[in-house]
Structure 1
Amino acid sequence: MVQSLNTKVDLVIDATAFTGFTDYGKVMIGDKGFEFYSSRDSRKYIQIPWEEVDYVIASVLLKGKWIPRYAFQTKKNVTYTFSSKEAKKVLRAVRKYVEPNHMLQSLSFFDVVKRAMQSRFKKS
């Protein structure tokens, strides 16, 4: 069995991890880090200490009414993507441990297209 990083747990909620294949399990947010444990395979888990989290990136739709997924970018430039039914609860719990200027909103579809067009027609 895997040993948890956390000594105090703030939130446990059902979630999905997008790591190659989708893994269903539980997300645990505590005082030492963010943890994901797969419900099918006990060997599949992700533990991210708060010291290693560089940015938290949220995909926001419908002017903040719906957050389909969120991602953690570590200082080693690895991005872990998750989703849960109550993403706002998760992000509020994470906000206690990650600085607000390190919590970002991802680009929308139109922003990505706009950047692509600008870089395509940019004069060198």
Structure 2
Amino acid sequence: MVQSLNTTAELTAQGISYLGIGAKYGKILVGDRAFEFFNDNNVEDYIQIPWQNIIAVYVHVSGKTVSRRFKIKTDKVDLNFSSKSSGNILKIMREHLGNDKILRMPTLWDTTRSHFKHK
């Protein structure tokens, strides 16, 4: 059985982890000490990321709409997740990480514009 890093769970939501080939469905748990993902089908398949190991969280934003997908960049690896509750998950993560670590992913237009600005 997996031991959670958190002492209190602030939010639990259905989510998808995109690690390796394919998607894994499970539960996302955001708590006082870490971001955690637990696979529904395999109890031994889990991801635990303490808050101090997270460098940044990237999310697609279009207008005022927040995408379901987000990427967590850690000191070792980048992990992609998706959830219908991504807005609530990101709000709680912002409380633990601060505004400077929750970042908007650049759009195709932003990337193209910056490419021509530097030439």
Q: TM-score, normalised by structure 1?
A: 0.86
5+ long unaligned stretches in structure 2: none
In angstroms, what is the RMSD of aligned CA positions?
1.6
**Structure 2 counterpart of 1:60, which letter?**
V
Which amino acid in 1 is paired with 2:59?
A
Larger Rg: 1
Q: How many residues align?
A: 118
Corresponding residue for residue 99 of structure 1: 98
- Is residue 51 of structure 1 aligned with residue 78 of structure 2? no
- Return the TM-score normalized by structure 2: 0.90
Asked whether the equivalents of residues 68 and 85 of structure 2 are also in contact (C-alpha less than 8 Å), the reply is no
**One-letter code aligned to 2:58:** I
Q: Does 1:73 align with 2:73?
A: yes
Stretches (4+) displaced over 3 A: 113-119
Long gaps (5+) in structure 1:
none
Measured against aligned partners, the alpha-carbon deviations of 1:28-65 in whole angstroms (never above 9, x if no partner) come to 0001100000111112111000010111111112x122
Which whole-Å CA distance do the structure 2 matches of 1:66 and 1:92 have between them? 11
- Give 1:95 shift: 1.2
- Percent of matched pairs sharing the same residue: 32
C-alpha distance in 2 between matches for 1:109 and 1:70? 16
8 Å CA contact retained: 2:14, 2:26: yes
Any conservation in 1 of the 2:11–2:30 contact (CA below 8 Å)?
yes
